[in-house]
Structure formats: structure tokens, C-alpha cells
Amino acid sequence: MIASENGNLELVQYFVENEANINAEDDNGWTALMKALANKHFEIASFLLDNGANVKN
């Protein structure tokens, strides 16, 4: 999630390719998708959505 929050697309891609839980939540209920969107990292958000991120959280 830190990679999404900080805008590190390459690291996000690495985690997804290595089967990280794309819909994992932090202690506050935030997902990587939420953090990417909150920080205006739209390319990461798009990548997460293309790879199955849940938009219903």
C-alpha cells in the first residue's frame, strides 16, 4: 500500500505480479486503490483496477 500511496508504479506492478492481495486493507480500512486515488496517482489506480481491485470498499 505504501507503494500506491507514494506513486511507485513499478513496485505496485511487482507486488501484483507476485500475487500480493490487491484488496488488502490497512488498519483504517484503506486499500491500495483508495491510497492511490487519494494521492492522485491515477496511473496506479488504473493499473489496480485493470488487475481486479475491488471498487466496492
38 within domain boundaries = yes
pLDDT digits (tens, 9 = 90+) for 2-16: 999 999 999 999 999
55 within domain boundaries = no
51 Cβ neighbours under 8 A, 6+ residues apart: 16, 22
CATH number for the domain including 18? Answer: 1.25.40.20
pLDDT value of position 1 = 84
**Which pLDDT tens digits describe the chain residue by residue (57 residues)?**
899 999 999 999 999 999 999 999 999 999 999 999 999 999 999 999 999 999 985
Q: In whole numbers, what is the pLDDT of the chain averaged over residues? A: 95
56 within domain boundaries = no
Ramachandran angles phi, psi of 37, nearest 5° = -65, -40
Strand, helix or coil for residue 11: helix
